[in-house]
């Protein structure tokens, strides 16, 4: 029969194993959460880019052309061009990261005399997934000013509505980005809002100035 002193080290050893397993699971959960938060924050930033660049283009063209068709076509062109640009840029960037991490993983496996398995590659970044996510996020943001201007014929009302919906969206994206990044929501929203207003105002003013000069 085992004595108490013999059983106690076994229990302590088992407790250490359980604690180590629990810590490992916690670290995995934290890492997964960090990755998800990073992806979500990147998606919010992509949507904000789509919103602001498309709205600025529409406001700039609206400074010299008052018809709704030209303004909407400009927004659509900005959406398509921006989404393609974001997708290609993200694909190239993430593919470079993929190559670097894959090479490092192969070196680590060679050092340990192990073979690189398929499940090892699952932890690597996916360039196609990243490109698609960037394009979709940009397009979602770009659709907002387009919807605001789509059914309004009056010039001043159309500009006012676009400015209004973009303002609300900027505040929302700023708050969401701050929430995901752990920053102050009000300050972040104000920064995004003021930056967006400046971008649209500068684009509108310069385009009107250049268009009015007869160039």
**Three-state SS sequence of the chain:** CCCHHHHHHHHHHHHHHHHHHHHHHHHHHHHHHHHHHHHHHHHHHHHHHHHHHHHHHHHHHHCCCCCHHHHHHHHHHHHHHHHHHHHHHHHHHHHHHHHHHHHHHHHHHHHCCCCCCHHHHCCCCCHHHHHHHHHHHHHHHHHHHHHHHCCCCCHHHHHHHHHHHHHHHHHHHHHHHHHHHCCCHHHHHHHHHHHHHHHHHHHHHHHHHHHHCCC
* 143-191 pLDDT per residue, tens: 999 999 988 889 999 999 999 999 999 999 888 888 877 778 888 899 9
* 187-215 pLDDT per residue, tens: 889 999 999 999 999 999 999 998 877 66
* 78-128 pLDDT per residue, tens: 999 999 999 999 899 888 988 888 888 777 766 666 666 666 667 777 888
What's residue 102's pLDDT?
82
What's residue 26's pLDDT?
46
Global pTM value:
0.75
- Output the average pLDDT for the chain: 80
What's residue 22's pLDDT?
47
What's residue 196's pLDDT?
93
The better pLDDT of the pair 58, 45 is held by 58
* 76-89 pLDDT per residue, tens: 999 999 999 999 99
pLDDT at 27 over 50: no
What's residue 31's pLDDT?
45
């Amino acid at each position: 029969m085992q004595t108490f002193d013999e059983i106690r080290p076994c229990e302590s050893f088992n407790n250490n194993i359980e604690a180590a397993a629990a810590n490992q699971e916690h670290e995995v959960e934290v890492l997964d959460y960090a990755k998800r938060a990073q992806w979500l924050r990147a998606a919010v930033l992509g949507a904000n880019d789509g919103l602001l660049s498309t709205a600025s283009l529409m406001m700039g063209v609206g400074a010299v052309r008052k018809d709704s068709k030209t303004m909407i076509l400009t927004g659509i062109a900005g959406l398509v061009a921006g989404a393609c640009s974001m997708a290609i840029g993200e694909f190239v960037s993430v593919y470079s990261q993929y190559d670097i991490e894959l090479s490092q993983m192969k070196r680590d496996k060679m050092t340990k005399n192990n073979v690189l398995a398929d499940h090892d590659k699952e932890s690597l970044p996916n360039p196609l997934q990243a490109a698609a996510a960037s394009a979709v996020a940009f397009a979602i943001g770009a659709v907002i000013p387009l919807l605001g201007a789509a059914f309004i014929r009056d010039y001043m009302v159309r500009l006012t509505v676009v400015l209004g919906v973009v303002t609300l969206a900027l505040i929302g994206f700023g708050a969401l980005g701050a929430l995901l990044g752990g920053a102050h929501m009000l300050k972040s929203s104000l920064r995004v809002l003021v930056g967006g207003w400046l971008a649209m105002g500068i684009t509108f003013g310069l385009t009107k100035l250049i268009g009015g000069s007869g160039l």
